[in-house]
Amino acid sequence: MLTISVPATSANLGPGFDSIGLALDLQLTLTVLGPSQTWQVDHPYGPHVPSDARNLMIKTALSLVPNLQPQHVQVTSDIPLARGLGSSSTAIVAGLVLANELAKAPFTKQELLLKATELEGHPDNVAPAILGGLVVATYDHDQVQAVSLPAPDLYASVYVPNEELLTSASREALPSDLPFKQAIAGSSVGNTLVAALATQNWPVALQLVEQDQFHEQYRAKLVPALATIRQTAHDLGLVGTYLSGAGPTVVTLGQKADLERLQQQLKLNTSLTGQYQLLPVDATGINVHKS
């Protein structure tokens, strides 16, 4: 039996728009039950998600290796759909790894990363799903450059609103261009954030996570929980709150005890009706088990 596990990802890490992502210990697991006449996908997502070869994971697998023998697979996942935790990216990565394993692993991780980025459009979700931990990546001219940084010894307080926010709607909120001075300021913060992350200077990094100039201010009206959670964290003396991916999930990074206090306070706010998770960083990325 073949089992593939892929972690959730939190991308757009503050000013690291489309370039910095973090793997979190919330898993999508795909289990191959055996060969079948046609592709069969048992999953928990309901009738609106295909259960045959039209399923995103299977379409992705066949895009890599078109002549795969159909299989009966079972999917379990704790990653919510359309919430900014990389649900589509984990499905893409799971499909690519499925194809690679069924084809006796002819593709390297770098090749899988390039294919995943081509399908997803940006590397900041798929790179940490494949490599694990904290990854800074860029995609240009059909090449992906991904640099793994030391995995933070931090936890993530994750607030997941009940309402979906499609990436397309979140993208529409962004401007077509930025004033030159704002772009320079955003780049300066982003560069310093990478330096702080690389040297594990968490106090500086957590401050800079909140100083994005590229996307959060334009999406804030779509995710009112962001300002509420950030202000509540500030009242407790905590920094490190940012919009995960395209939203609407809001993540605060920090020490476990501090984040437990934050969540206790947030749960007193009746306007925050979503779900809470307290997650460690996943340092492994894709995990393949054969039995």
Q: What is the dihedral of CA 265, 268, 272, 276, to 10 degrees?
A: 60
- Look up tokens 């709607």; give the residue: 169
Is 119 assigned to a binding site?
no
Q: Is 253 helix (H, G, I), strand (E, B) or coil?
A: strand
Is 88 assigned to a binding site?
yes
Is 83 assigned to a binding site?
yes
Is 84 assigned to a binding site?
yes
Q: What is the DSSP string of 71-128?
A: EEEEEEE-SPTTSSS-HHHHHHHHHHHHHHHHTTS-S-HHHHHHHHHHHHS-HHHHHH
CA–CA distance, 122 with 139 (Å, rounded to integer): 7
Is 173 assigned to a binding site?
no
Task: Write out the H or E segment, with its range, that includes residue 206.
Answer: helix 202-208
CA–CA distance, 217 with 173 (Å, rounded to integer): 10
Identify the DSSP state of 151.
P
Is 81 assigned to a binding site?
yes
Is 7 assigned to a binding site?
no
Is 19 assigned to a binding site?
no
- Report how far apart, in Å, the C-alpha atoms of 128 and of each of 31, 76, 88, 97, 249 are: 21, 20, 13, 14, 18
Is 80 assigned to a binding site?
yes
Task: Write out the H or E segment, with its range, that includes residue 169.
Answer: helix 167-172
Q: Which residues are annotated as a binding site for ATP?
A: 80-90
Q: Which residues are annotated as a binding site?
A: 80-90
